[in-house]
Structure 1
């Protein structure tokens, strides 16, 4: 009876060879090499599985890295007196449209620098400059009597998914007087960074970090100083440095995050100063500043994801090779059994057949579920009623056998 259509063919995965073959002198060297390869493969599979699990666990915790953000400040001018090289009188400015009025444009751009010592560029797309800024304020130091309005430009990052994705910002204004520009930039870090107040920062030796980093540093200090209570491990005993911070002698372990939050403040913004002089040609090269930004390590996350999810083709190739090795090992095992069978038969044919028949009889008794005596009785009854003895050649065989027996010389007592 055929099995269900969904039943899959059983695959052989046992790649071991019989110990008798391993101990055979002519196969000793090859067998040893094969066993060493199997042992190496088991160790490699175990190591790869353990590393894959570690990578999967690391993927649950988003990897972070510190990258360098290079910020460029530059400006261009238009309609200035020094740009009129024709010698003619400049046209009258149109105050409604702004045409003919001296003006300037202040540009703020930024990009991430490549990771040093990296052989290949990252395949993941680079983040835009605006996605790395939480809030930015541009302050223009101009005469309030001439330019009373629009001296402060603020760019707050829009909430949700409405954030504009830009490579830079441009501030356009009219005027021909030198202007001092101050840029206040709050960066978008991941994880979010905080400034540690001096009361706690002096004790822990850190000035800035994420909330988890500060809590971990405080816990390391507690363990290093042995401040955890010996009896109740949930309680922390304050020393002379932590007593002003805790406000008591004993503090429960679960209150540490609450206490740390009291000494965390927003990080200091990035301050950039720029001098814009419309009365002279702008510099050929923009001014640049490098700042560090903590962000998600997308390249490492991509590499870990590729490592965990092996390609389908490579997995199928490895499975096919394992099946071929298992089939060869099974074929070797079958050949050894056949060789043993034929050698035993060639050595003593009669005794071998008798032993083999007894073995088959015992197997039949086991299949029928009978004991030794019952099986013997059942076997005799089956032989007596068997159609085997009704075959046409049985009479001839009995006659020949009896003839041989009678013709044999009798031994006198």
Structure 2
């Protein structure tokens, strides 16, 4: 009888013994490193900013730039008076700059767009038509359509003086040419439209591919990525195969910022316009309400609706903040500009081709608005504000040092005149302040000041004094106090 075969099992691996850090290690015992444990043990914690760090910096940062009272008595010369005069001048300049910037911003918001005439030429050429081949052999006839648009130079910039236009030397001519080129580039044909579609009238004998609509949509580039060269053009071209005349309709969808909307009959009666932007609609309704005196006497935001407003909102009273939402049903997108054209491939027309010309009105930015925007968005202004803020911080530090020096000067001057009485009064003052803080002081009438009504304070309580406010301010500015908050 054959003995059963014994199975060979691998020798089990003993588990790694975990030794306490306090247990002694025998000589010769190999050290087994734990990479993950060591990495976690010696990994330096990432310093996390304290949420109150910014508040601490602001609380410790001096902001007072007014000189302390009586400082002119201890400073020789007219420096204090000159500093006060500069402060008054600074306040007047700040007020004037803020007022002017607000006026410019208000003018930018109220600037009305101008409208200029754009002339559009639509033409087509043909090739490989049957009448073009030798012996009138039928061929794969094709056509090419070109749609080109340019602004008519019917306006000039009113902000440029006539004398500057007349007295230009050769160098100025070059600069002017570059400016005109850059202006023309920013107002090219594709600049005024966000979508162009060419729809074909489908004849019975047409092939579906030959009458498929042609569509161009303006792409919105990333803020940090320049637009592609193909997105800025003066002419749009396309080519198709056809040996018959075709009727097409060119639809141009305007690209205006802010976008204009077509108004309903009721809203157009109130605003006296048929097309307007969202902000223009709200401002127009507001002007109408003020002109008709429809505001409530007590609640100015409540509006009484007359027969025109009732036809829009359908109620007797209207809360003005709800008007922008309520006028939505009375607005609709602007209809695209439709230009009909016939693609002619016959020999008679192409013997002397004549383009079809259309004149349309497009909205352009007011040149004054561009210049005002350059004033408000000038990076030098922001850099100047940062420099002024840095100088203000330095002035505040100097004024703080002057205040401390003034306090020390007054302290030592009073001490030098009568040292004994001064020290006695100073010790009594410190004792009263300590008793006030601890709640152990008595009031002027001799009553007990340790009760809760005294601790809570009042109109004539000690916590309303400048000393207590200063002590609380310094206590809150300490790091441990800020961390406790």
- From 83, 86, 89, the equivalent of 2:135 is 89
State the 1:235 CA deviation.
Answer: 1.6
In the other structure, the counterpart of 1:110 is: 149
Tell me the distance in 1 between the aligned counterparts of 2:206 and 2:271.
Answer: 51
Could you say if the C-alpha distance between residues 223 and 78 of structure 1 is closer, same or farther in structure 2, counting changes exceeding 3 Å? same
RMSD: 5.2
Tell me the alpha carbon deviations over residues 135-170 of structure 1, each in whole angstroms, 9 at most, x when there is no partner.
Answer: 332122352224444424142636654986141322
In the other structure, the counterpart of 2:285 is: 218
Tell me the distance in 2 between the aligned counterparts of 1:182 and 1:65.
Answer: 28
| SS of alignment partner, residue 181 of structure 1 | strand
Q: Residue 67 of structure 1 contacts residue 112 of structure 1 at CA under 8 Å; is this kept in 2?
A: no
In the other structure, the counterpart of 1:277 is: 344
Could you say if the C-alpha distance between residues 157 and 301 of structure 1 is closer, same or farther in structure 2, counting changes exceeding 3 Å? farther
Could you say if the C-alpha distance between residues 151 and 62 of structure 1 is closer, same or farther in structure 2, counting changes exceeding 3 Å? farther
Could you say if the C-alpha distance between residues 112 and 48 of structure 1 is closer, same or farther in structure 2, counting changes exceeding 3 Å? farther
Tell me the alpha carbon deviations over residues 44-85 of structure 1, each in whole angstroms, 9 at most, x when there is no partner.
Answer: 8975564356557878x697744534433222211235545x
Could you say if the C-alpha distance between residues 110 and 233 of structure 1 is closer, same or farther in structure 2, counting changes exceeding 3 Å? same
Q: Residue 341 of structure 2 contacts residue 356 of structure 2 at CA under 8 Å; is this kept in 1?
A: no
In the other structure, the counterpart of 2:323 is: 256
Could you say if the C-alpha distance between residues 305 and 109 of structure 1 is closer, same or farther in structure 2, counting changes exceeding 3 Å? farther
Could you say if the C-alpha distance between residues 157 and 296 of structure 1 is closer, same or farther in structure 2, counting changes exceeding 3 Å? farther
Tell me the distance in 2 between the aligned counterparts of 1:289 and 1:228.
Answer: 45
In the other structure, the counterpart of 1:266 is: 333
| SS of alignment partner, residue 262 of structure 1 | helix
- From 359, 362, 378, the equivalent of 1:289 is 359
Does 1:165 find its partner at 2:243? Answer: no
State the 1:372 CA deviation.
Answer: 6.0
Where relative contact order (Cα < 8 A, 6+ residues apart) is larger, the structure is 1
State the 1:194 CA deviation.
Answer: 0.5
Does 1:198 find its partner at 2:269? Answer: no
Tell me the distance in 1 between the aligned counterparts of 2:97 and 2:411.
Answer: 46
Tell me the distance in 2 between the aligned counterparts of 1:365 and 1:139.
Answer: 90
Q: Residue 75 of structure 1 contacts residue 105 of structure 1 at CA under 8 Å; is this kept in 2?
A: yes
Tell me the distance in 1 between the aligned counterparts of 2:341 and 2:413.
Answer: 100
Tell me the distance in 2 between the aligned counterparts of 1:277 and 1:261.
Answer: 44
Could you say if the C-alpha distance between residues 273 and 52 of structure 1 is closer, same or farther in structure 2, counting changes exceeding 3 Å? same
Q: Residue 187 of structure 1 contacts residue 293 of structure 1 at CA under 8 Å; is this kept in 2?
A: no
| SS of alignment partner, residue 109 of structure 1 | strand
How many correspondences in the alignment? 299
Tell me the distance in 2 between the aligned counterparts of 1:49 and 1:252.
Answer: 32
Could you say if the C-alpha distance between residues 256 and 53 of structure 1 is closer, same or farther in structure 2, counting changes exceeding 3 Å? closer
Q: Residue 245 of structure 2 contacts residue 343 of structure 2 at CA under 8 Å; is this kept in 1?
A: yes
Could you say if the C-alpha distance between residues 255 and 369 of structure 1 is closer, same or farther in structure 2, counting changes exceeding 3 Å? closer
- From 298, 304, 311, the equivalent of 2:375 is 304
Q: Residue 301 of structure 2 contacts residue 320 of structure 2 at CA under 8 Å; is this kept in 1?
A: yes
Q: Residue 62 of structure 1 contacts residue 296 of structure 1 at CA under 8 Å; is this kept in 2?
A: no
In the other structure, the counterpart of 1:388 is: none
TM-score by length of 1: 0.55
Q: Which runs of 5+ in 2 are unaligned?
A: 1-76, 79-87, 161-175, 223-227, 388-408, 420-485
Tell me the distance in 2 between the aligned counterparts of 1:178 and 1:223.
Answer: 58
Does 1:76 find its partner at 2:136? Answer: no
| SS of alignment partner, residue 268 of structure 1 | coil
In the other structure, the counterpart of 1:355 is: none
Higher Rg of the two aligned structures? 1
| SS of alignment partner, residue 231 of structure 2 | coil
Q: Residue 139 of structure 1 contacts residue 153 of structure 1 at CA under 8 Å; is this kept in 2?
A: yes
**Within 5 A, what are the aligned runs for 1:124-143?**
125-143=185-203
State the 1:267 CA deviation.
Answer: 0.9
In the other structure, the counterpart of 1:144 is: 204
Q: Residue 200 of structure 1 contacts residue 245 of structure 1 at CA under 8 Å; is this kept in 2?
A: yes
